């Protein structure tokens, strides 16, 4: 591959890294703290490419017959390597969603320090889905079984239930470092009052993000049910896709 091609690739890759940080789409792939290192990596790549191009133009980089031969030998095939980078620059892949749930594992024994914290004040305080699962794993008969909370996630068919069976779970993807290590947390939605209505179809397809108010059923969310608490639903409403889309 010629030096010119290398410089162009560095500029494109660096440009993609800078772009996804500036427009916030990096959150589809990594945690928020990664913004600085990703941005620095992009700036360094672009800087290296620019410095290399300036050196070549000034005749300080290796040149001559060998360089000309390499340029000629690289041909169009070397430039084909630019296409995947251009694709990322022009079309940013979406974040993982409900379609990925069956392809990632469940988060194992998600007990964390937050499980010991008191619940926020107010009527049906908003909690993260991971928070609900963690608190329930720590104490299956704890405060979540006596107070309503509000959780947000996307609807998926209940684990083990066939599509369309009328049983749904509320799920969320959790990342530790990046989207490549995504795992699933979910709660099963019980509907004793018929509050779910058309949401309880159990169908799949496009992500259906909802905010659900309810109370954890005592004794659920243990190792026996794979740390999937059951939430007795009081009400629900559709919501926009949250930003960031993942929990941490």
At residue 168, the pLDDT reads 87
CA dist., res. 136 & res. 145, Å (int): 9
Domains in the chain, please, with CATH?
3-93 (no CATH), 100-238 (2.40.50)
CA nearest to 211, candidates 242, 185, 248: 242
At residue 189, the pLDDT reads 92
How far is Cα of residue 226 from the mean position of the Cα atoms in its chain?
A: 22
Q: What is the pLDDT along the chain (248 residues), one digit of tens a residue?
A: 577 777 777 888 888 888 888 888 787 788 788 888 889 988 998 898 888 888 877 775 454 444 444 454 455 555 666 666 666 667 767 777 777 776 565 555 555 556 567 888 889 999 999 999 999 988 888 899 999 999 999 988 887 554 444 588 999 988 888 777 778 889 999 988 877 876 665 444 567 899 999 999 999 988 888 889 999 999 999 999 888 888 88
At residue 89, the pLDDT reads 67
CB-CB contact of 109 with 137 (8 Å): yes
Return the bridge partners of 247, or none. Answer: 174
Return the bridge partners of 126, or none. Answer: 150
Q: In three state form, how does the secondary structure of the chain look?
A: CCHHHHHHHHHHHHHHHHHHHHCCHHHHCECHHHHHHHHHHHHHHHHHHHHHHHHHHCCCCCCCHHHHHHHHHHHHHHHCCHHHHHHHHHCCCCCCCHHHHHHCCECCCCCCHHHHCCCCCCCCCECCHHHHHHHHHHCCCCHHHCCCEEEEEEEEECCCCCCCCCCEEEEEEECCCEHHHCEEEEEEEECCCCCCHHHHHCCCCCCCEEEEEEEECCCCCCHHHCCCCEEEEEEEEECCCCCCCCEC
CA dist., res. 122 & res. 172, Å (int): 24
Spatial CB neighbours of 192, under 8 Å, sequence gap ≥ 6:
232
**Structural tokens at position 70:** 């390499």
At residue 92, the pLDDT reads 67
At residue 75, the pLDDT reads 53
């Amino acid at each position: 591959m010629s030096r010119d091609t290398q410089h162009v690739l560095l500029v494109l890759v660096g440009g993609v890294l800078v772009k996804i940080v500036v427009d916030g789409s990096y959150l589809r792939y990594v945690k928020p703290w990664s913004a600085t290192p990703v941005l620095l990596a992009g700036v360094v790549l672009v800087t290296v490419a620019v410095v290399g191009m300036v050196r070549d133009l000034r005749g300080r980089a290796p040149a001559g017959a060998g360089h000309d031969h390499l340029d000629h030998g690289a041909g169009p095939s070397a430039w084909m390597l630019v296409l995947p980078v251009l694709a990322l620059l022009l079309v940013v892949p979406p974040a993982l969603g409900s379609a990925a749930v069956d392809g990632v594992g469940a988060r194992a024994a998600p007990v964390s320090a937050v499980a010991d914290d008191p619940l926020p004040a107010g009527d049906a305080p908003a909690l993260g889905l991971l928070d609900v699962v963690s608190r329930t794993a720590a104490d299956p008969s704890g405060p979540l079984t006596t107070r309503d909370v509000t959780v947000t996630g996307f609807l998926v068919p209940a684990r083990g239930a066939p599509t369309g069976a009328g049983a749904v779970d509320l799920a969320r993807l959790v990342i530790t470092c990046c989207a490549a290590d995504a795992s699933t947390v979910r709660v099963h939605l019980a509907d004793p009052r018929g509050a779910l209505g058309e949401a309880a179809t159990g169908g799949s397809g496009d992500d259906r993000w909802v905010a659900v108010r309810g109370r954890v059923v005592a004794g659920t969310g243990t190792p026996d049910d794979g740390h999937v608490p059951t939430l007795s639903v009081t009400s629900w409403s559709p919501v926009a896709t949250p930003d960031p889309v993942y929990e941490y």
